[in-house]
Amino acid sequence: MEVGSLPVELWRLILAYLPLADLGRCCLVCRAWRELVLSLDSTRWRQLCLRCPECRHPNWPRRPQLAPPSWREVLRQHALASRTWTLNGSELHSSACLHLFRRRKDRRVWRVETEAGCGAVTLRGALAAAGPYDRIHLYPGVYEEQAEVTLKVPVEIVGKGKLGEVVLMISFDQQCPTARLCNVVFMPAWFSPVAYKTSSGHVQLDNCNFEGCQLHIRGPGTCQTRFCSFSQGSSAHFLGVAISLVDSCEFSGGDSASITVEGPPVSERNWACKHLAALAKSLTTPTSNGSTADAANQDSRDTVGGVSPGDTPIGGALTVEDLTKQDVDLESGWTKQKAVNGALLPGELDLGCSSDGDEEQRGDNVKDVDYALPYDQHGLAHLSEPRPPDWASVPALLGLSAELQRDAEARELAGSVQGCLLHRCLLRDGKGGVHLYNHAQARLEANMFRGLNYAVRCIQNAKLVMLRNEVSGCRASGVFLRLSAQGLIAQNNIHSNGEAGLDIRKGANPIILCNRIHSGLRSGIVVLGNGKGSIRSNQIYSNREAGVYILFNGNPVVSGNHIFQGLAAGIAVNENGRGLITENVIRQNQWGGADIRRGGDPVLRNNFICHGYSDGVVVGERGRGLIEGNHIYGNRGCGVWVMSSSLPQLIGNYITHNRMYGLAVFCRKDPESERGGERGGQENFHEEGEMLAWESDMDSEDERFSSRRPITVALVENNCMSRNGAVGVYVKSSEALNVVGNMVSNNRAAGMSIIQSTQLTRLVGNCVHGNGRTGVTVDRECRVELRGNGIYGNSCHGICFRGDGQIVENDVVGNSGVGIRVMESADVKVVRNRVQCLRGCGISVRQQVRGAVQENLVYQGNPANSKPPINSDPQNQDCIVLSNTLLTHRPNTPWALENPPPRPLGNNPPSAAPSTNPTHLAISMTSRITATVESGCHNNGSIFCSIL
């Protein structure tokens, strides 16, 4: 019979009436017939699969509406899996072929009904009469036994009819090598809640329901559970299992954990372990080669809270041009305080560029270029034109395969199949999902956890591999790890949970890769209580609290993540938290991109912190840490906001294009600490009300800081603070501060403004260039030392000084106002500076200034300038002016700053971020004088910064 004799459509119609066995025979006729049979996948093969009483929809219970790629393949896999229980190689004879034939011939079918006179009356009687591998058919009815039923020979028990028509109120104890139960409903017997248990053999459960009862498997026993439902408080317990497989099952309504895995896998193995391991390998996704179709379907259907990370650019909807031009902020309306064309922000000191006597007036009609001293070759010239980073330089998220290639430990975990394997299951509407403890091991892949108190709890040295699961709607934390738990958590979608998406504490040390953690009612990831972990290449977004929250000596590595669009801080480090935070993209968060407070001491290195609705980095009261090599730009608040009771190190950062101050240092206490609330909010991190003794988990202070040199003075070194909307460096502090080797340029207001400085502030080796107002302003009663700075081309005065201190060996050239203006009751020494002012005085000493102006070199400005190079009030007897030199310009002679060249001299390390802790730097240049910070000493903190 030729295929071509009839149309293909007619052949398909004919073949659609054939049973499974005949379809198989037709496939063997020829290639054309095989292709015809295979083309029936969505019709006949689908019917055969769905009509099989032993197999539910292949995507049940997670997505029963989603068709599989091939119905024929589903039916084939089901046929293979249903025979796993018979693969007991130890009972085979020398001739495998003859043994198979004999088994088929000798295998009997026993019929059990509840009505008398129809076969064996009781199930116990049928089990007593059955031989090895016999099949027992149970017809609809309720089967109940008054004592435990022991299975002593391999047997298969199959319920006939629809699922739910055969009910077993029996407690089984399996003592034989293998058994299979299919299409039955388990209910608890009156004497025991355990419906089925085994401690040595292998049991296969297909298409069964457990209602209000328990399944117990103890190693070396094994279990394969497929398409089963556990409801009304049912659960599965695995104790010391080497391997067991729970595939496509549903767990709901439990008042405890749905699946409990306890104890390390036993070394003794039964016969089924190798077959289950091979089956598990075929079911698990090959992580090294990317996602399978199942993972792809899951990702395509998972909701992400209305945000598609792939559709959102790194810079989001904001660009640098938007930040400089936008006049309305719908969230907070903060642009009412925006600095426009150099206008002052609240609290900014105006030391006068307007006319205050003839000496400060500038002439704009005379060409000064021929008399201007060049200063472009100063030591920080490489930072003169800072720009926002090119998007190509922003680190992209790595995929799981790339992460596994560079991490051997994660790669080994991803390939491990041991303990309990939970695959494609739905766990919903109960107290707990999976509970691992006491060195247990489990692998969870492609499951859904919904509406639970918690999805996964891994404690007491347990090991977890969790791949491509969806965890949502948990009332507490989604995934909870503590007590030295470890494992791999990768490519999961964790969202919309009541507490943290992941909660890591008490020495737990997992590897967290390539997850989406979003839309939580609290933080995305919380690390506390000596928790560790490696958190890499995750998307963490749209959480109501911090994306990553580190506290109580938490010490994770947070690297290569994208943390964005959160309703609080991107990363918060609090209450003695630590951690290495590197190469993350932290953008568009409502609070600070990074928020460090109350003893937090992280290393924040090489991150991109941008386009936030508040400050870039906030260092709150008693905050510490190394903030190094970061790009902090495009934020609507300050670039870096520091409280004066903090001791951070800011080294080699690019702080640019922020709408307010580049760096702001304020004298202020957190309201929480004013009320004595050192541990405010700690109760939120208790595990279901359990009072945890955090003090017993914390390291001592000596241990914590033994690896890092003690810091006594806050340090700001080798940063670039450019094109910010207000002052580049704004200081209103009661603590000592060292500002060394920074580029402060092209800010809309002053370059550096010292408003309050009761302890010594040292400005050493900085370049202050091209700012919209005065280069450096110092208010009255401030203690400031300026040494070795280059102050060039600012739109107002070079230095305007009202406080106490020294101005030593600076180059003050090309500014539009007075070079160095000392006024009011200042007590200052102005020594060995090089000054040029083209249209005004080089040095102006006014009012009741005390101190000395000596050994300064004043370069001639424009010859049309009628102002004296040094102007001092003749009635002022308290200021000594002597030994100063005026250098005039000679035609056709090079006019330059020489011996030394323009300051800063470039002897500071380059701005590129060093790879190690800069312990060699002189970070204790001046000793800190202990002083208390008075409560409420000022009201001018960041208008966005809030207490976590």
Confidence of residue 403 (pLDDT cuts 50, 70, 90): very high
C-alpha 474/C-alpha 465 separation (Å) is 20
pLDDT score of 334 = 36
pLDDT score of 936 = 32
The correct answer on CATH 2.60.120.380 for the domain covering 727-887 is no
Average pLDDT of the chain, as a whole number: 81
pLDDT in tens, 303-335: 333 344 444 444 444 443 444 444 333 233 333
Which position has the higher pLDDT, 161 or 187? 187
Dihedral angle at the C-alpha atoms of 513, 516, 521, 526, nearest 10 degrees? 10
pLDDT score of 539 = 97
Position 946 pLDDT exceeds 70: no
pLDDT score of 100 = 45
Which position has the higher pLDDT, 285 or 857? 857
What would the mean pLDDT of 475-485 be, rounded to a whole number?
A: 96
pLDDT in tens, 765-821: 999 999 999 999 999 999 999 999 999 999 999 999 999 999 999 999 999 999 999
Q: At residue 287, what are phi and psi to the nearest 5 degrees?
A: -65, -25
Say which residue the tokens 């918060």 belong to. Answer: 572
Confidence of residue 286 (pLDDT cuts 50, 70, 90): low
pLDDT score of 388 = 64
Alpha carbon distance, N-terminus to C-terminus of the chain: 79
pLDDT in tens, 331-348: 333 333 444 444 455 445
Between helix 31-38 and helix 8-15 the angle, nearest 10°, is 70
Position 284 pLDDT exceeds 50: yes
C-alpha 891/C-alpha 566 separation (Å) is 62
What would the mean pLDDT of 456-467 be, rounded to a whole number?
A: 97
pLDDT score of 368 = 63
Position 297 pLDDT exceeds 70: no
Phi-psi region of 424 (alpha: psi -120 to 50; beta: other; left: phi over 0): left
Position 120 pLDDT exceeds 90: no
C-alpha 923/C-alpha 97 separation (Å) is 82
Percent of the chain at pLDDT > 90 equals: 55
Q: Which of 40-44, 49-53, 448-452, 907-911 has the lowest mean pLDDT?
A: 907-911
pLDDT score of 327 = 37
What would the mean pLDDT of 274-296 be, rounded to a whole number?
A: 65
Confidence of residue 611 (pLDDT cuts 50, 70, 90): very high
pLDDT score of 83 = 77
Q: Give the list of residues 6+ apart from residue 272 with CB closer than 8 angstroms, or none.
A: 84, 85, 87, 88, 178, 202, 222, 224
**Smallest Cα–Cα separation from 152: which of 129, 182, 120?**
129
Position 354 pLDDT exceeds 70: no
Residue 775 class from Cβ within 10 Å (0-12 exposed, 13-18 middle, 19+ buried)?
buried
What would the mean pLDDT of 108-125 be, rounded to a whole number?
A: 78
What would the mean pLDDT of 691-709 be, rounded to a whole number?
A: 41
pLDDT score of 101 = 44
> How far is CA 484 from each of CA 35, 261, 462, 511, 530, rounded to the nearest angstrom?
55, 16, 8, 13, 10
Confidence of residue 33 (pLDDT cuts 50, 70, 90): confident
> How far is CA 634 from each of CA 561, 614, 657, rounded to the nearest angstrom?
19, 10, 5
Which position has the higher pLDDT, 47 or 523? 523
Entry pTM: 0.85
Confidence of residue 117 (pLDDT cuts 50, 70, 90): low
pLDDT in tens, 575-590: 999 999 999 999 999 9
Between CA 627 and CA 632, with CA 629 as vertex, the angle to 5 degrees is 80
Q: What are the boundaries of each domain within the chain?
A: 11-85, 727-887
- Cβ atoms within 10 A of the Cβ of 669, count? 20
Q: Is there a contact between 550 and 600 (Cβ–Cβ < 8 Å)? A: yes
Say which residue the tokens 């470039």 belong to. Answer: 906
C-alpha 912/C-alpha 417 separation (Å) is 44
Say which residue the tokens 């390291």 belong to. Answer: 699
Say which residue the tokens 């076969």 belong to. Answer: 119
Which position has the higher pLDDT, 315 or 167? 167
Q: Is there a contact between 768 and 790 (Cβ–Cβ < 8 Å)? A: yes
Q: Is there a contact between 51 and 71 (Cβ–Cβ < 8 Å)? A: no
Which position has the higher pLDDT, 221 or 308? 221
pLDDT score of 119 = 56
Q: 257-262 and 617-619 as β-strands: parallel, antiparallel, unpaired?
A: unpaired
DSSP per-residue letters across 752-799 = EEEEEESS-EEEES-EEES-SS-SEEE-TT-EEEEES-EEES-SS-SE
Position 610 pLDDT exceeds 70: yes
Position 876 pLDDT exceeds 70: yes
Position 351 pLDDT exceeds 80: no
Position 205 pLDDT exceeds 90: yes
Q: Residue type for 218, please?
A: R
pLDDT score of 937 = 31
Which position has the higher pLDDT, 704 or 203? 203
Q: Which residues pair with 535 in a beta bridge?
A: 512, 558
pLDDT score of 391 = 66
pLDDT score of 345 = 57
Q: Which residues pair with 144 in a beta bridge?
A: 169
What would the mean pLDDT of 124-148 be, rounded to a whole number?
A: 91
Q: 767-769 and 790-792 as β-strands: parallel, antiparallel, unpaired?
A: parallel
pLDDT score of 481 = 97
**Smallest Cα–Cα separation from 204: which of 96, 87, 124?**
87
Which position has the higher pLDDT, 774 or 351? 774
Q: Is there a contact between 583 and 609 (Cβ–Cβ < 8 Å)? A: no
What would the mean pLDDT of 858-863 be, rounded to a whole number?
A: 84
